[in-house]
Structures are given as C-alpha cells and as structure tokens.
C-alpha cells in the first residue's frame, strides 16, 4: 500500500527574481497538494511559505525529480502558462532504463490516452492524443541504458509510457515497469535535468540545469 513520505531536505534554488523562481523538486514530493490532509505537503506549499504570491505553471509527477519554474507574479503566471501551451519551453530529461534500445537515438511517436480500467495510468492507443518523444543514448551496457529525453508534447506519464512501449521501462517505475525492474531502485530513475524558457518580463532566455545524480547508481549497477 502506498504511503506518502516526502523528503524533508531543503529545496535547491537555481534562479530567483521578482517574476520567476526555478527550483529542483526532489523525487517523492508532490508538485501540488493532493486530496486529503496527509497529502498537503508539496513543492507548492513549501514555496508559499517564503513566496506567498507564487503560482504553479506546470507539474512533475511525484516520483520524478528535477527542474521546475514557478511564477511569482500574476503577469508572469499568464506569460509562462502561454509558453507551455504553445510548447516554446524546452525540456530535457534523463532516465535509466532496463534494456538497450534497438537504435541508439530515435523518436517515439505514439498517441496516448488514459488506461480504460487502471486509475492514474495511461496507454499507447491509436485513438489517443498525439505524443512525441526524442531519445538519445548517453551510456549503455547489456542490462541498462542511460537516456537523454526531449518530449515535444506534455502528456501525463508520457516518458514513462513511451519508454515502456519501446521495451525499455524506467528503473524504479512502480506503474509501468515489471516488479523486478521496479525493485532495482528505491526511486523512479527519471529526472528533469534542463528547462529553457523566455523570461516573462525581459524576454531573456533562462536556462536552468540540475544534474540527475544518477552516476553513483549507474556505477554500482554496471556488470
């Protein structure tokens, strides 16, 4: 049975000014509060303690770690949400997966829709919404691959479902990986490592980077 036990370590701030805050969300912490008193601790509620006017403009899955941008003023919120809507925000992720893709680089272009019976899950389905992910192999050996990922759409669980469809489920994925692959890590090995957007006031390009920290796991699991 799932028990919500988010990490208590201080948040890592990458950039802050009067309009925007860029922060690293740890794995295991909700982006926004869930339903019920036990799910109120989140990245958003923690940020509100210091920035009471903050507004969320996008989310990461609870199990995913990495860079997020938060609006600190209403005008910034509208401008950033529009950038996400028209897909001018550039995102890069890293994942450690079980197996090796048949090609070292490629594009996964498969439509996604909610699973017909399993709550919170999604599946590849011809009737689903168009979804596209580019991947590049950073490192690989017989059992695992370390991939760089660039999603061109922002569907729920897109990277997790696309990689499972590729035959390379993400290590630690409790939703889509087989139990033996899930159990190889105590966290989902998926991290939003880079985020690039236009500053909502100046138009200046803001590029935030947060290392995945996956190297120690990778080195300890190589054959």
Please give the positions annotated as active site.
61
Cα of first residue to Cα of last residue in the chain, in angstroms, is: 32
Q: Is 82 helix (H, G, I), strand (E, B) or coil?
A: helix
Report residue 87 CA to chain centroid gap. 16
Decide the pairing of beta strands 132-140 and 105-109.
antiparallel
Closest CA to 81 of 92, 69, 99, 91: 69
Q: Is 133 helix (H, G, I), strand (E, B) or coil?
A: strand
Whose tokens are 């979804």? That residue is: 131
φ, ψ of residue 174 to 5 degrees: the values are: -75, -15
Residue 30: left (phi > 0), alpha (psi -120 to 50), or beta? beta
């Amino acid at each position: 049975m799932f028990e919500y036990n988010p990490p208590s370590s201080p948040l890592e701030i990458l950039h802050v000014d009067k309009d925007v805050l860029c922060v690293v969300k740890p794995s295991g912490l909700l982006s926004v509060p869930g339903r019920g008193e036990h799910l109120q601790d989140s990245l958003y509620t923690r940020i509100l303690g210091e920035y009471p006017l903050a507004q969320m403009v996008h989310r990461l899955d609870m199990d995913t770690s990495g860079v997020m941008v938060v609006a600190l003023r209403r005008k910034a919120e509208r401008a950033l949400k529009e950038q996400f809507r028209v897909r001018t925000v550039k995102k890069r992720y890293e994942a450690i997966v079980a197996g090796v893709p048949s090609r070292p680089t490629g594009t996964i272009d498969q439509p996604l829709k909610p699973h017909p019976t399993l709550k919170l899950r999604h599946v590849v389905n011809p009737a689903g919404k168009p979804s596209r992910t580019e991947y590049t192999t950073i490192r690989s050996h017989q059992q695992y691959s370390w991939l760089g990922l660039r999603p061109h759409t922002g569907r729920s669980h897109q990277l997790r479902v696309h990689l499972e469809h590729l035959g390379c489920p993400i290590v630690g994925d409790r939703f889509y990986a087989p139990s033996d692959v899930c159990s190889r890590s105590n966290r989902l090995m998926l991290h939003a490592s880079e985020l690039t957007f236009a500053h909502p006031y100046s138009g200046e390009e803001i590029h935030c980077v947060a290392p995945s920290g996956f190297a120690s796991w990778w080195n300890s699991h190589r054959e």
